[in-house]
Amino acid sequence: MKSKEIISKKTALSIFLIALVSFFSCTVEDDTPEPIKTESFKVKAVAMIASEFPSTEGDVLEIFGEIKARVTVGDQADERTLWTRNTSNWEPVGSTEYVINSEGSEVVFTLTEEELNDGARIEYEAIMWDKDPDGNPDDYLGKHSTSSRAIIYTELPNNETRGSLVLKEFNGITLVVRITVEHIRD
Ligand SMILES: [Ca+2]
């Protein structure tokens, strides 16, 4: 009788310990923070086209400069270069679309829900010149940038939003840079 009592006490103790352990493991699991909700955005430099340029320039402009994308959260900025050329590796851009599609021409930014609600912005910018092959100063075509609250892209009905940067600082030349911002949705 006594040994039976000891066994049942041991059993009771084991059950109690198991219950205690599972209680604490449940508590630990409950303490695990919720995964942070994020949204991702792809910014892509798509193409360039010279919508206006004098015939004295020939069939194409000799375009060089830089296209950049940037995400800002408060005073923090994450900037990426989508396209860059200099005076010696310019690209021919005329009245038919020059498709960019080069390495690095699209980048993905990921923002947390908190950053989106705190006013995170998506910006893109282009600065361009047309090379002068005769050794005269190159023609500065201008600099243009746009900036929008990133959360706007999550509220639009389409995943992809088209934008354009128009550079027309130099008289008689208009260069358009086409950009897309895609809100990556599941
Ligand atoms: Ca030129």
CATH code at position 95: 2.60.40
Top-confidence range, 10-19, 27-36, 175-184? 175-184
Quick one: 23 and 46 in the same domain?
Answer: no
Quick one: 28 and 52 in the same domain?
Answer: no
* Ligand 1 ion: Cβ-proximal residues, 5 Å cutoff: 62, 130
Indicate the pLDDT class of residue 13, thresholds 50, 70 and 90: low
- Separation of 107 CA from ligand 1 center, angstroms? 30
Range of the structural domain that residue 6 is part of: 1-32
| Across 2-6, 120-124, 152-156, least confident range | 2-6
- Separation of 177 CA from ligand 1 center, angstroms? 17
Quick one: 76 and 158 in the same domain?
Answer: yes
- Separation of 168 CA from ligand 1 center, angstroms? 14
Quick one: 6 and 60 in the same domain?
Answer: no
Q: What is the pLDDT of residue 141?
A: 98
- Separation of 57 CA from ligand 1 center, angstroms? 6
Q: How far is CA 137 from the centre of its chain?
A: 34
Quick one: 131 and 63 in the same domain?
Answer: yes
Quick one: 135 and 174 in the same domain?
Answer: yes
Q: What is the pLDDT of residue 6?
A: 58
Quick one: 142 and 178 in the same domain?
Answer: yes
Is the pLDDT confidence value at 32 over 90?
no
DSSP 57: G
Quick one: 106 and 46 in the same domain?
Answer: yes
Q: How far is CA 51 from the centre of its chain?
A: 27
- Separation of 94 CA from ligand 1 center, angstroms? 11
Quick one: 49 and 141 in the same domain?
Answer: yes
Quick one: 114 and 138 in the same domain?
Answer: yes
Residue 41 CA: distances (Å) to CA of 25, 121, 135, 153: 38, 11, 42, 8
> What's phi and psi for 79, nearest 5 deg?
-110, 135
- Separation of 47 CA from ligand 1 center, angstroms? 19
Quick one: 57 and 118 in the same domain?
Answer: yes
Is 48 within 8 Å of 64 (Cβ atoms)?
no
Indicate the pLDDT class of residue 149, thresholds 50, 70 and 90: very high
- Separation of 59 CA from ligand 1 center, angstroms? 10
Q: What percent of the chain is modeled with pLDDT above 70?
A: 87
Quick one: 21 and 43 in the same domain?
Answer: no
**Overall average pLDDT of the 46-60 stretch:** 95
Is the pLDDT confidence value at 27 over 90?
no
Integer distance in angstroms from the first to the last C-alpha of the chain?
Answer: 66
| Domain tally, the chain | 2
Is 102 within 8 Å of 88 (Cβ atoms)?
no
Q: Is the pTM of this model over 0.85?
A: no
- Separation of 145 CA from ligand 1 center, angstroms? 23
Facing residues of 37 across strands? none
